[in-house]
Amino acid sequence: MSDLLVIAAVGLGTYGMRAMFLVRRPRSVHERGNTMLHLLAPAVLAAIMLPALLAPRGTVSFGETGASLAAAVVSVAVWRRTRGIPHALFAGLVAWWLVLALVAGP
Amino acid sequence: MTHPSAARAGLRDGMSVVAGYIPFALALGASLGSAGVDPLTAWLSSPLIIAGAAQLVTVQMLGAGAGVAVVITTALVVNARHVLYGAKMASLVPSWSRRDRGLAAYLLADPMFALASARARVDDPPEVPDTFRAYYFTMSWTCWAGWLVLTGSGVLLGDVLPAALPLDVAAALTFLLLLLPTLEGAAAKAAAVVGGVVAALAGGLPLGLGLLLGAAAGVGAGTWVSRVSTPAQSTRQEQSHV
């Protein structure tokens, strides 16, 4: 139940952010605030992504970390060509599986 | 464009987004379902939050036993870009009623914002309010319904998928793929590099504080780079209207 309340609070907060300028009448936004908002997405997403990629199951290991880094490289390469999240995700997961199979050996 | 054809275009664009999101949303749903939170509760994040990255952060941190305040703060930091979405959307629909704008805000997730901005760019100024409204709401509700069904299927499927499947790697890759389109300009790249490295170095801190530290360091580094690279611009234009 408390988990649901936390999720609902995040939902309410997210709605508040979406509605802040859309529901109220348009007003001015400070240039510096605007710049910081633009930078939040890359900073936060990288801060979530990099630790998870380096330690996919909570610990850094040659096989697991190598496989997830290979998956990341392949995903980025495919995304650059296709700009499609599904293709890039699928290709990355295939690369992850192949590298892990190679490291584990026959 | 007439009202019905705008709605048809909205349905078509919404369906194409839903089709593209199938593997992503299934993987995300499976990650939600396996995070250690009650699966139905985890899935309810789809209608309540409607933002994949924030949903995953919230549910994974809850599953890991993080503090309530840290979970909410982190998820809202992840979603802070939605303030900008709302600001830009407001400039497209100044004549909509308050009720319509309130409902539009609920639906304003990443793909809805991307499609609405793309349509407004083609029809500049945006079509007459009625047809743009028909397009936006048809497209958004289509994406919304697809998101709920796909993440729900992922939650259900996650139970029967073998534990060896790389759902945690899929989650990390998903964040990487959400990150890539945001890397426009030196400031954004600096924010990402510093944010990622600091969060990785501070990974041992409790309650997800490493993430917040990384995010703050990333924004700080990006702000510094943007000031160094465009000093004249930032002093010339102190305020901008939305």
Does A63 lie in the same domain as A16?
no
pLDDT of B162 reads 60
The DSSP line for B174-201 is: HHHHHHGGG--SHHHHHHHHHHHHHHHH
Alpha-carbon distance B226 to B126, whole Å? 31
Of the pLDDT bands very low, low, confident and very high (cuts 50, 70, 90), residue B207 is low
The tens digit of pLDDT for each residue in B216-231 reads 999 999 999 998 887 5
β-bridge mates for residue A29, sequence order:
B240
- Quick one: A97 and A60 in the same domain? yes
Give the mean model confidence (pLDDT) for residues B26-44. 88
Tokens matching residue B3:
């009202």
% chain A with pLDDT above 90? 36
State yes or no: pLDDT of A27 exceeds 60: no
Q: Which residue has the higher pLDDT, B169 or A70?
A: A70
Instruction: Answer whether B173 sits within 8 Å of A89, measured CB to CB.
Output: yes
In terms of residue numbers, what domain contains A102? Answer: 55-106
Are residue A35 and residue A60 in the same domain, yes or no?
Answer: no
Q: What is the interface pTM, i.e. ipTM, of the complex? A: 0.83
d(CA B64, CA B155): 18
Give domain status of residue A50, yes or no.
no
Q: Is the pLDDT of residue B16 over 70?
A: yes
pLDDT higher than threshold 80 for residue A67: yes
- Check residues B42 and B116 and name the one with the higher pLDDT: B42
pLDDT category at B206 given cuts 50, 70, 90 is low
Asked if the model's pLDDT at residue B102 lies above 70, the reply is yes
Contact present, A90 and B23 (Cβ < 8 Å): yes
In a domain, A61, yes or no: yes
In B101-160, the residues whose Cβ lies within 8 Å of chain A are: 101-102, 104-106, 108
- The alpha carbon of residue B238 is apart from the nearest alpha carbon of chain A, in Å, by 6
Residues A3, A32, single domain; the answer is: yes
For chains A and B, CB pairs below 8 A equal 285
Q: Do A56 and B57 touch (CB under 8 A)?
A: no
Q: Within this chain, do residues A34 and A67 fall inside the same structural domain, yes or no?
A: no
Phi and psi, residue B211, nearest 5°: -65, -45
A30 - beta bridge partners? B239
Inter-chain residue contact A35 with B45, CB threshold 8 Å = no
Residue % of chain B over a pLDDT of 70 = 85
Q: How many domains does chain A have?
A: 2
> Comparing A22-26, A99-103, B177-181, which segment has the lowest mean pLDDT?
A22-26
Establish if A36 belongs to a structural domain.
Answer: yes
| Smallest CA–CA distance from B47 into chain A, residue | A11
Cross-chain residue pair A50–B200, CB shorter than 8 Å: yes
B209 touches chain A (CB under 8 A): no
Report chain B's mean pLDDT, rounded to a whole number.
83
Return d(Cα B126, Cα B121) in angstroms, integer: 8
B71-92 pLDDT, tens digit per residue, is 999 899 888 878 878 887 887 8
Structure tokens at B142: 């289509």
More confident of the two residues B194 and B14: B194
Tell me the average pLDDT across B135-156: 95
Q: For residue B114, what pLDDT is reported?
A: 76
More confident residue, A1 or B11: B11
pLDDT surpassing 70 at residue B26: yes
Q: Is residue A33 domain-shared with residue A5, that is, in the same domain?
A: yes
Residue B128 pLDDT: 66
pTM of the model: 0.69
What would the two tokens of residue B94 be? Answer: 């100044």
A20 neighbourhood in chain B, CB within 8 Å: 83, 86-87
Residue in the block written with tokens 């102190």: B238
Q: How far is CA B127 from CA B2, B134, B184, in A?
A: 10, 10, 29
Proportion of chain B above pLDDT 90, given as a percent: 38
Q: Do B22 and A44 touch (CB under 8 A)?
A: no
Q: What is the distance between the alpha carbons of residues A51 and B171, in angstroms, rounded to a whole number?
A: 12
In-domain check, residue A105: yes
